[in-house]
Amino acid sequence: MRAAAMVICAITRTTGRLAPADWMGANFDFLKEKTLLEITLPGSHNSGNYFGGLYADRICQSDYRYNEYLASPSSLALLSKGEHVFSQAEFDRRMIPWNINHFRPIKAQLLEDGVRKQQHAVCSMAEAAYRSMGNLMNLADLRFQHRGYTTIETVVSSTLQDILQFLDHHPKEIVVLAFNNLHNNVTNKFSEADVDALSAALELELGQKIISAPDLFSKSLEQLLRLGKRVAVFVKGSRPNFRGVISSEMHLTENWGSAMDSGNLTAAKDWLIQDLQTAASAAKGRYYVMQANPNNAESLMYEAMNTGLGPQSNLRFLETFLLELGSLVIRTTRNEPQIRINVIDTDFLSISQPYQTCMLLMGLSSSLPENPDTLSTWLIRLSMVVFTAALLIWACRTYHKPTGYQRHSPRN
């Protein structure tokens, strides 16, 4: 499985320059007097959802979509005609490719894609709920997830260790983390007590390396490094009484509009441009993240599964958008220089190339063809075909339980 991923990554790398593992250190003379509000970081959306990492072995029930699939218009239409819809195992096999966002695991994203901001969708798989401020969340119970599918090998505790090791080996790099998509498998709701337990555990794990909100907005990169401050952490719902973890509601601008999960990529691009022109221009005193990661509408995913028509994975759906993202950002910011982007969060980084785009926005040397040449475009598209085929083969082998069509009645 990992060998297949490495082959696919090798194909995608032929179309662009890899980011140095120490790109902030390599450009330290240019960056050292800037705050993180004046630097544009490459980000990865749903960082833990990489090829070969998500499974249906342990489902995060609060975000699982099988009942939604059974109740979708295309499934109801099949049932009304006495036809079959997919069994749960077959649904999982076809749905997981819609939840893959990256070729490479998180550690490789840091080392090879230049990622310095990670967005994490997580689910607590603990056996009991957290009930008081005195609790510390066990970060080994916190799995990366999307639409119910969770990671097994990679959990938040091991990821933090990888990040700290990366920072030890690269002394002039900074990493930003965001935990804004939070689920709990026991209670089906990530409560205030859960947020407190998560925030406290993150602060304990990162210790003196954590960057507070005042430091984020006021201290230069050089000052942060001198103080040993290396990791900024945003948490949705976190309260101001935490000394290190930063409240997303108070300090983060990370907008999302209905066009972004409509299945209409033209509408999604128009919405992103509008958000750049408004929120990114008015985000003074807040950390602005461009969420360049549209989704297909779930109903359209289910229809594609039921009919076998149209894209059958997130990668195939995003193809055109990913190829054009860099040009969209550069063109929009050139026309409106007041736009300030702190992070470009996106998917399949060797295709969308956020590192190259960020380097251009900061005025550092890099190359990003605004109109990719035909050879590069077709190499990328070839890699997508290979990746999709490998993903389907992997899914078939992984979910070897009896599958296929099975008649169901939607639950009330």
Q: Tokens representing 8?
A: 């696919």
pLDDT in tens, 170-222: 999 999 999 999 999 988 889 998 999 999 999 999 999 999 999 999 999 99
| 2-18 pLDDT tens trace | 444 444 444 444 344 46
**What pLDDT does 398 receive?**
53
Residue 234: which H helix or E strand, with range?
Answer: strand 231-235
Q: pLDDT tens digit string along 32-56?
A: 999 999 999 999 999 999 999 999 9
Taking all residues of the chain, what is their mean pLDDT, rounded to a whole number? 87
- Decide if pLDDT at 393 tops 70: no
Neighbour tally for 226: CB within 10 Å: 10
Q: Give the H/E segment covering residue 295.
A: none
- Strand 343-346 to strand 287-291: parallel, antiparallel, or no bridges (unpaired)? parallel
Give domain limits for the chain.
2-403
Any idea what DSSP says for residue 230? -
- For residues 222 and 387, give the distance between their C-alpha atoms in angstroms, rounded to a whole number: 41
Q: Beta strand pairing status for 231-235 and 246-247?
A: parallel
Which tokens is 118 given? 């990670």
- Which residue's entry shows tokens 């050089």? 222
Among 349, 303, 309, smallest CA distance to 325 is for 349
Tokens encoding 165: 């090791």
pTM for the structure as a whole: 0.88
CA pair distance 15, 9, nearest whole angstrom: 11
**According to the model, what pLDDT value does residue 403 have?**
39
Parallel, antiparallel or unpaired: strands 287-291 and 54-55: unpaired
- May I ask the CATH class of domain 2-403? alpha beta
- DSSP SS3 for 303: helix
Confidence of residue 133 (pLDDT cuts 50, 70, 90): low
Rg (CA), the chain: 21
Euclidean distance between CA atoms 279 and 256, whole angstroms: 11
Query: Is the pLDDT assigned to residue 282 strictly greater than 60?
Result: yes
